Amino acid sequence: MAEQLRLMAVHAHPDDESSKGAASAARYVAEGVDVLVVTCTGGERGSVLNPKLDRPDVWENIAEIRRAEMDEARAILGIRQAWLGFVDSGLPEGDPLPPLPEGCFALEPLEVATAPLVRLMREFRPHVVTTYDENGGYPHPDHIMCHKVSVAAFDAAGDPERYPDQGEPWQPLKLYYNMGWSRGRLLATHEAMLAAGLESPYTDWIKEWDKREDKGDRVTTRVECGEYFETRDDALRAHATQVDPDGAWFRVPLELQRKVWPTEDFELVKSLVDSPVPESDLFAGIREAVHAR
């Protein structure tokens, strides 16, 4: 029998796996790929964004609640999931920014924070790894640290001289960054909403876009996954403290999304196989080699 394909998606907090690359993950699970989500922190310092759950009893048990939410989202997506075990750094606000809390993920020495992810890579043996870009997708300290740790582990996992106590070496073959929302995707969805006679939730975002970097030209890989958008949204709603069910995330009809932008987009940043871009599959160049074994 051919070796099973394996995908590892490394995320900063519980809920990130459901808002970034979730439909692609669900598609690959349906195709028989073994998908493992690695969650770097417990999300202990995240905001409660659902006004119905912004209550003292929720805040008092936030760590346990977020673990339960992650279990529900994991079941919905059909993935496996592992905790890296670090503590949420929070998102500092103010001018000047306050210092990060002692003992948080973003303040861990890189070598220390990388070790448990190297161990997981060597145990799970992924062919493909996905994570965030150098800015974390957005500049949250944990997202930036997640990027650093993921890149470092990708490079170290196959080197027998590095982290010799973390298992037998295994070299993943491809590393991708989640690209999320580009200006092109935002405008296309916004204009489609208006054309359908609907109110767009993106009007203010578009007005502020000039302050953001557009990474649309960095996309190398578009994974068709529109039929799994509903699964993605169900998984995101499972993180009930993290998302407002009446918020902007869910105001665009799924059929409109599937028509306008039916893909999730990635940037291929490292590859040890021949896989010319643009691509439509994270396993391009890998399927042939693995199935030939």
- Known binding site for Zn(2+): residues? 13, 16, 143
Q: Give residue 248's Cα distance to chain centre.
A: 19
Handedness of CA 22, 127, 285, 158 (dihedral sign): positive
Distance CA 235, CA 72 (A): 7
Distance CA 179, CA 265 (A): 6
For the sheet containing 80-86, what is the strand order? 80-86, 34-41, 6-11, 128-131, 174-178, 263-271, 221-224
Q: How big is the CA angle at 127 (ends 123 and 128), to the nearest 5 degrees?
A: 110
Distance CA 291, CA 53 (A): 48
- Known binding site: residues? 13, 16, 143
Q: Which long-range contacts (CB under 8 A, 24 or more apart) does 107-113 make?
A: 108/145, 110/148, 110/149, 110/152, 113/86, 113/145, 113/148, 113/149
Q: Are 89 and 45 in contact (CB under 8 A)?
A: yes
